[in-house]
């Protein structure tokens, strides 16, 4: 009796069965190969990420790469140094501003009428009167 899915020739049936088995094995092998290749790619990406986080030692022809925490520590040190330098530059500014304010006030006092005796304004008025540049008398 011949099965419904048989060709009726046992040699061809056996050959078809073997071809199907070989195809299934090869298909499974290709699928496993692709899965393994994808897994290896992901593993390499993961290893690079870990190297970025923990760093990588120097190798011949390749300098060492510091890890994430080392880079952050370096940036923190640079920021502290920058903060210190800015603080050193800014600290004397209030005193300097007070000095300049005092000097400007003194200059304004010298130029503001009515001028007190001995002020620059009084001296300018006296010189102007002596050379006849003004008709006004200086305040005494």
Taking only the tens place, the pLDDT of each residue in 102-121 is 999 888 877 766 656 667 77
**pTM for this entry:** 0.44
Q: Concatenated DSSP letters for 9-72?
A: -HHHHHHHHHHHHHHHHHHHHHHHHHHHHHHHHHHHHHHHHHHHHH-B--BTTB--B--HHHHH
Cβ-Cβ contacts under 8 Å for 109 (sequence gap 6 or more)? 119
CB 68 within 8 A of CB 52: yes
Q: Each residue's pLDDT tens digit in the chain (140 positions)?
A: 455 677 788 899 899 999 999 999 999 999 999 999 999 999 999 998 888 888 888 889 988 889 999 999 999 999 999 999 999 999 999 999 999 999 998 888 777 666 566 677 777 878 888 898 755 555 55
């Amino acid at each position: 009796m011949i099965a419904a899915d048989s060709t009726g020739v046992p040699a061809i049936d056996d050959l078809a069965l073997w071809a199907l088995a070989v195809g299934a094995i090869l298909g499974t092998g290709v699928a496993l190969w692709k899965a393994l290749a994808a897994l290896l790619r992901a593993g390499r990406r993961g290893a690079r990420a870990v190297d970025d986080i923990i760093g990588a030692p120097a190798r011949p022809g390749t300098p060492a790469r510091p890890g994430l925490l080392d880079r952050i520590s370096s940036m923190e040190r640079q920021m502290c140094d920058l903060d210190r330098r800015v603080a050193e530059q800014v600290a004397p500014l209030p005193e300097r501003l007070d000095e300049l304010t005092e000097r400007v006030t003194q200059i304004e006092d010298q130029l503001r009428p009515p001028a007190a005796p001995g002020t620059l304004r009084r001296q300018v008025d006296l010189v102007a009167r002596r050379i006849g540049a003004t008709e006004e008398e200086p305040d005494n």
